[in-house]
A and B are shown apart, each in its own frame.
Chain A
Amino acid sequence: MLNINNNKDALAPVIDVSQVNKWYGQFHVLKDINLKVMRGEKIVICGPSGSGKSTLIRCINALEEHQQGDIVVDGTELTRDLKNIETIRREVGMVFQQFNLFPHLTVLENCTLAPIWVKKENRVEAEKTAMALLERVKIPEQADKYPGQLSGGQQQRVAIARSLCMNPEVMLFDEPTSALDPEMIKEVLDVMIELANEGMTMICVTHEMGFARTVADRMIFMDDGQIIEEGPPETFFNNPASERTQQFLGQILSH
């Protein structure tokens, strides 16, 4: 279904962020960020609020503009060139904390809107793909409902399906479970785990450490706009090098 193993160079990083800096006014939010993501790699970013982790992934699909440094996605450099921005956004899917489904459209229309208008697919084809993906996130029966009629967990699963409909190379997750009631978190994480198992390249900003242990190939800890520590989950959780990481993990794992 997802053509992950296409014939592009499997050894080149699919996302290459180098020396990226960003300021909000005088406030330095991202400081000399370097990050390479390989095809099929799953990365979990964590860190205290205001550490710049959301800003970083929002820069990757140009929802925010970075002021210094380079971001290259699948060989396309992110500049102010609208064509490049468009190409990158097609390659990169994004799931938001607040779902951001379109409330005036049905679930199915939410999923087919971009394929029809951006990728110029025909409606029948787009609906077929959308139904298949809704099936994968286990809510095909809700296709004709409006987002307002669904629970938070269902809405987030629709949002995932909506992104997948564009057949992206990379998926970005911006705290996908933070706005959910506890009993709904699992159904969303299950979908994400399944996606990870199928080989999708993923960057997740999340505090779900259980999920991180299960799927992450690499953990990244950010604080104060910098990458403090990164490494495989075993070392990261059991043997963090930095004191700040230890402190953070202590707080987040203590309950």
Chain B
Amino acid sequence: MQKEMIEARTPPIMTVGALAWIKGNLFNTATNCLVTLVIAYGLFALIPPLIQWAFIEAVWTGESSADCTADGACWAFVNARLDQFIYGFYPPEHTWRVDIFFVQLAVVLAWLMIPAIPGKKYGLVYGLVAMPITSWIVLSGGMLGLTPVDTHDWGGLMVTLVLAMYGMLASLPIGVLLALGRRSEMPVVRTFCTVYIELWRGVPLITVLFMASVMLPLFVPEEIVFDKLIRAMIGMVMFQSAYMAEVVRGGLQAIPKGQQEACDSLGMGYWKSMLLVVLPQAVRMVIPGIVNTFIALFKDTSLVLIIGLFDLLSIVQAGLNDPVWLGTSTEGYIFAALVFWIFCFGMSRYSQSLENKRQEH
């Protein structure tokens, strides 16, 4: 029989602390020892020279690739072209208008994404309705005394963001309608939406963009001339709305039938019950999926290069052909990759945090 209580003792030295962690997570079996050593060697052989190249030996300013050395990165190229990468060929004296667009976008995103900021409803209305209109007016001008700037002169990050924003704003509502249509009880509506969705999901975006750029002008009377940027946007929206529809449909399927029945028993019609009860729940449930679709859309904007628009990637690509900056392709691509990566990684982290929060509930 135990007479006295046992005092808590400290655990054996090899089960806690840094050493124990290293042993448990890196050298716990013979295979793991080997794997750890091989990876450590690889990282050791790779990272110091990379840092050497990217930072220590790098050249940050200069007039041409002649100013750069063979041992370090030629960031001078990116530096010299930065304005073009961001604004394209937008007249330099008007780039403040593009800045307004960027700021507006950042404000809306922060408003909607940071839980502490109140008035999400107004943010949503502003982002979905007001921002697209004001942005278009500010960017293209011709109104309110703003000099018109042709979309031919738009380029770089700005075009990437314009395509992403309008693509998203248009494909979300269209996707919702398609998703509702695919679950409709009316066979014609259902068939129509299913065919539309499966058609666009079954073909590559490039063929859709080709179609938008080559065939769209054939489809309308010759008097109507679509701007190239608008054509690309139409193609992207047709394509992405099909994916959005499938995401939203997933959410709709997850809403219990009882919700609709409760609405019915209260005398609410189809649209009232959808807009007030079913959709708010369904959309909230699939926000991570919507963000993922948006990430795909954001990456896909780079494809407009193929139909001759200058988004961030194609303007970097164009800069690489400049004889003054020969041999800087690696630096150019790394810069573009970094910009895309920051946006996409940020969004995917955001969507993951939402997912985690949802699972906690």
Q: Does B227 contact A (CB under 8 A)?
A: no
Do residues A113 and B264 form an inter-chain contact, with CB atoms below 8 A? no
Do residues A166 and B259 form an inter-chain contact, with CB atoms below 8 A? no
A90 and B272 alpha carbons, distance in the complex (Å): 15
Do residues B261 and A102 form an inter-chain contact, with CB atoms below 8 A? no
A96 with B258: in contact, given A117-B276, A118-B272 (CB under 8 Å)?
yes
Q: Does A53 contact B (CB under 8 A)?
A: no
Do residues A104 and B280 form an inter-chain contact, with CB atoms below 8 A? yes
Q: Closest A residue to B255 by CB, please name it.
A: A103
Q: Does A45 contact B (CB under 8 A)?
A: no
Q: Which residues of B contact A113 (CB under 8 A)?
A: 266, 268, 276-277
Q: Flag A80-105 by CB within 8 Å of B: 1 or 0 each.
A: 00100010011011101011111110
Q: Which residues of B contact A100 (CB under 8 A)?
A: 256, 258-259, 261-262
Q: Does A114 contact B (CB under 8 A)?
A: yes
Q: Does B330 contact A (CB under 8 A)?
A: no
Do residues A94 and B268 form an inter-chain contact, with CB atoms below 8 A? no
Q: Does A61 contact B (CB under 8 A)?
A: yes
Do residues A98 and B258 form an inter-chain contact, with CB atoms below 8 A? yes
What number of B residues sit within 8 Å (CB to CB) of A? Answer: 18
CB distance from B260 to the nearest CB of A (A): 9
A117 and B264 alpha carbons, distance in the complex (Å): 13
Q: Which residues of A contact B262 (CB under 8 A)?
A: 94, 96, 100-102
Q: Closest B residue to A95 by CB, please name it.
A: B265
CB distance from B12 to the nearest CB of A (A): 45
Do residues A104 and B284 form an inter-chain contact, with CB atoms below 8 A? yes
A102 with B256: in contact, given A89-B264, A89-B266 (CB under 8 Å)?
no
Q: Does A148 contact B (CB under 8 A)?
A: yes
Q: Closest B residue to A102 by CB, please name it.
A: B277
Q: Flag B245-282 by CB within 8 Å of A: 1 or 0 each.
A: 00000000000101101101111110010001100110
Do residues B261 and A63 form an inter-chain contact, with CB atoms below 8 A? yes
Do residues B265 and A94 form an inter-chain contact, with CB atoms below 8 A? yes
Do residues B256 and A61 form an inter-chain contact, with CB atoms below 8 A? no
Q: Does A62 contact B (CB under 8 A)?
A: yes
A62 and B267 alpha carbons, distance in the complex (Å): 10
A12 and B121 alpha carbons, distance in the complex (Å): 49
Q: Does A162 contact B (CB under 8 A)?
A: yes
Q: Flag A110-137 by CB within 8 Å of B: 1 or 0 each.
A: 0001100110000000000000000000
A90 and B265 alpha carbons, distance in the complex (Å): 8
CB distance from B135 to the nearest CB of A (A): 30
A96 and B268 alpha carbons, distance in the complex (Å): 16
Q: Which residues of A contact B266 (CB under 8 A)?
A: 89, 113-114, 118, 162-163, 166
A117 and B271 alpha carbons, distance in the complex (Å): 11
Do residues B256 and A114 form an inter-chain contact, with CB atoms below 8 A? no
CB distance from A38 to the nearest CB of B (A): 22
CB distance from B291 to the nearest CB of A (A): 19
Q: Flag A196-212 by CB within 8 Å of B: 1 or 0 each.
A: 00000000000000000
A93 and B261 alpha carbons, distance in the complex (Å): 12
Do residues B259 and A102 form an inter-chain contact, with CB atoms below 8 A? yes
Q: Does B361 contact A (CB under 8 A)?
A: yes
CB distance from A170 to the nearest CB of B (A): 12
Do residues A89 and B256 form an inter-chain contact, with CB atoms below 8 A? no
Do residues B258 and A114 form an inter-chain contact, with CB atoms below 8 A? no
CB distance from A179 to the nearest CB of B (A): 11
Q: Closest B residue to A110 by CB, please name it.
A: B262
A96 and B267 alpha carbons, distance in the complex (Å): 15
Q: Flag A37-79 by CB within 8 Å of B: 1 or 0 each.
A: 0000000000000000000000001110000000000000000
Most buried by B among A86, A89, A90, A162: A89
A162 and B267 alpha carbons, distance in the complex (Å): 12
Do residues B272 and A89 form an inter-chain contact, with CB atoms below 8 A? no
Q: Closest A residue to B361 by CB, please name it.
A: A148
Q: Closest B residue to A96 by CB, please name it.
A: B258
Q: Which residues of B contact A98 (CB under 8 A)?
A: 256, 258
Do residues A117 and B272 form an inter-chain contact, with CB atoms below 8 A? yes
A63 and B262 alpha carbons, distance in the complex (Å): 9
Q: Closest A residue to B277 by CB, please name it.
A: A102
In-complex Cβ contact of A89 among B265, B276, B277, B361 (8 A): B265
CB distance from A126 to the nearest CB of B (A): 13
A24 and B361 alpha carbons, distance in the complex (Å): 38
Do residues B280 and A62 form an inter-chain contact, with CB atoms below 8 A? no
A99 and B262 alpha carbons, distance in the complex (Å): 9
Q: Closest B residue to A92 by CB, please name it.
A: B265
Q: Which residues of A contact B277 (CB under 8 A)?
A: 102, 104, 113
Do residues A61 and B265 form an inter-chain contact, with CB atoms below 8 A? yes
Q: Closest A residue to B262 by CB, please name it.
A: A100
Closest 5 CB pairs of A and B: A100-B258, A100-B262, A114-B266, A94-B265, A89-B267
| Other A-B pairs, 20, CB within 8 Å; known A89-B265, A104-B281, A113-B276 | A63-B265, A86-B267, A90-B267, A92-B265, A93-B265, A94-B265, A96-B261, A99-B258, A100-B259, A100-B262, A102-B281, A113-B266, A113-B277, A117-B268, A117-B272, A118-B267, A118-B272, A148-B361, A162-B266, A163-B266
B residues near A (Cβ < 8 Å) are 256, 258-259, 261-262, 264-269, 272, 276-277, 280-281, 284, 361
Could you name 23 residue pairs across A and B whose Cβ atoms are closer than 8 Å? Answer: A61-B264, A63-B261, A86-B269, A89-B265, A92-B265, A94-B262, A96-B262, A96-B265, A98-B258, A99-B258, A100-B256, A100-B258, A101-B262, A104-B277, A104-B280, A104-B284, A113-B277, A117-B272, A118-B266, A118-B267, A118-B272, A163-B266, A166-B267
A residues near B (Cβ < 8 Å) are 61-63, 82, 86, 89-90, 92-94, 96, 98-104, 113-114, 117-118, 148, 162-163, 166
